[in-house]
Amino acid sequence: MRRRCEDDRESITIMVDGRPLVARAGDSVAVALGLNDILKMRSSPAAGAPRGAFCFMGVCQECAIYIDGALRQACLTRVAEGMVVELRGVP
Protein backbone atom coordinates (compact mmCIF):
# COMPACT_ATOMS: atom_id res chain seq x y z
CA MET A 1 0.00 0.00 0.00
CA ARG A 2 1.38 3.32 -1.05
CA ARG A 3 0.06 6.74 -0.20
CA ARG A 4 1.45 10.12 -1.01
CA CYS A 5 1.65 12.84 1.62
CA GLU A 6 -0.22 15.99 0.73
CA ASP A 7 1.95 18.58 -0.98
CA ASP A 8 1.56 21.50 -3.33
CA ARG A 9 3.94 20.38 -6.03
CA GLU A 10 2.91 20.83 -9.64
CA SER A 11 1.16 17.94 -11.37
CA ILE A 12 2.65 17.03 -14.71
CA THR A 13 1.76 14.48 -17.35
CA ILE A 14 4.12 11.87 -18.74
CA MET A 15 3.30 9.27 -21.37
CA VAL A 16 3.77 5.63 -20.41
CA ASP A 17 3.43 3.17 -23.26
CA GLY A 18 1.24 5.70 -25.05
CA ARG A 19 -1.03 6.44 -22.10
CA PRO A 20 -1.00 9.62 -20.01
CA LEU A 21 0.04 9.32 -16.38
CA VAL A 22 -0.12 12.12 -13.81
CA ALA A 23 3.01 12.60 -11.73
CA ARG A 24 4.34 15.19 -9.31
CA ALA A 25 7.22 17.45 -10.25
CA GLY A 26 10.40 16.30 -8.55
CA ASP A 27 9.48 12.63 -8.34
CA SER A 28 11.62 10.05 -10.06
CA VAL A 29 10.07 8.04 -12.87
CA ALA A 30 10.24 4.94 -10.64
CA VAL A 31 8.26 6.67 -7.90
CA ALA A 32 5.72 8.05 -10.37
CA LEU A 33 5.16 4.59 -11.83
CA GLY A 34 4.88 2.98 -8.40
CA LEU A 35 2.37 5.53 -7.14
CA ASN A 36 0.26 4.66 -10.17
CA ASP A 37 0.48 0.93 -9.35
CA ILE A 38 2.91 0.18 -12.17
CA LEU A 39 5.43 -2.03 -10.41
CA LYS A 40 6.53 -4.21 -13.32
CA MET A 41 8.82 -2.13 -15.52
CA ARG A 42 10.08 -4.83 -17.83
CA SER A 43 10.68 -8.56 -18.16
CA SER A 44 14.05 -10.23 -17.71
CA PRO A 45 15.63 -11.09 -21.08
CA ALA A 46 16.37 -14.72 -20.22
CA ALA A 47 13.37 -15.99 -18.26
CA GLY A 48 10.77 -13.31 -18.93
CA ALA A 49 10.34 -12.75 -15.20
CA PRO A 50 8.85 -9.43 -14.09
CA ARG A 51 11.40 -6.83 -13.04
CA GLY A 52 10.96 -3.51 -11.28
CA ALA A 53 12.71 -0.93 -9.13
CA PHE A 54 14.47 -2.48 -6.15
CA CYS A 55 17.17 -0.28 -4.64
CA PHE A 56 15.88 3.17 -5.71
CA MET A 57 19.44 4.51 -5.61
CA GLY A 58 21.03 3.58 -8.92
CA VAL A 59 22.78 0.36 -7.94
CA CYS A 60 20.70 -2.66 -8.99
CA GLN A 61 19.84 -1.63 -12.58
CA GLU A 62 16.45 -3.34 -12.28
CA CYS A 63 14.68 -0.13 -13.29
CA ALA A 64 16.47 0.30 -16.63
CA ILE A 65 13.78 1.33 -19.12
CA TYR A 66 13.54 3.58 -22.16
CA ILE A 67 12.91 7.20 -21.24
CA ASP A 68 12.69 9.70 -24.10
CA GLY A 69 14.24 7.08 -26.37
CA ALA A 70 17.30 6.31 -24.25
CA LEU A 71 17.88 3.45 -21.81
CA ARG A 72 17.98 5.09 -18.39
CA GLN A 73 17.52 4.24 -14.74
CA ALA A 74 13.99 5.20 -13.73
CA CYS A 75 15.01 5.68 -10.09
CA LEU A 76 17.57 8.36 -11.00
CA THR A 77 15.51 10.18 -13.64
CA ARG A 78 13.12 12.91 -12.60
CA VAL A 79 9.81 13.21 -14.40
CA ALA A 80 9.36 16.06 -16.87
CA GLU A 81 6.29 17.33 -18.69
CA GLY A 82 5.72 15.35 -21.88
CA MET A 83 8.34 12.72 -21.04
CA VAL A 84 7.88 9.48 -22.97
CA VAL A 85 8.41 6.24 -21.03
CA GLU A 86 8.51 2.80 -22.61
CA LEU A 87 8.23 -0.22 -20.34
CA ARG A 88 10.20 -2.57 -22.55
CA GLY A 89 13.55 -2.38 -20.76
CA VAL A 90 16.84 -3.83 -21.82
CA PRO A 91 16.75 -5.66 -25.18
Mind giving me the DSSP string for 19-33? EEEEEETT-BHHHHH
Pairing of strands 84-86, 11-16: parallel
Question: Smallest gap, in angstroms, from Cβ of residue 81 to ligand FES?
Answer: 22
CA-based nearest residue to 25, from 91, 78, 85: 78
Cβ neighbours around 69 below 10 Å, total: 8
**One-letter amino acid of 61:** Q
Q: Contact between 27 and ligand FES (CB under 6 A)?
A: no
Q: Contact between 44 and ligand FES (CB under 6 A)?
A: no
Which listed residue (75, 79, 83, 85) binds ligand FES by CB under 6 A? 75
CB-wise, 12 or 28, nearer to ligand FES? Answer: 28
CB-wise, 10 or 49, nearer to ligand FES? Answer: 49
Which stretches of the chain bind ligand FES, using CB under 6 A?
A: 30, 53-56, 58-63, 73, 75
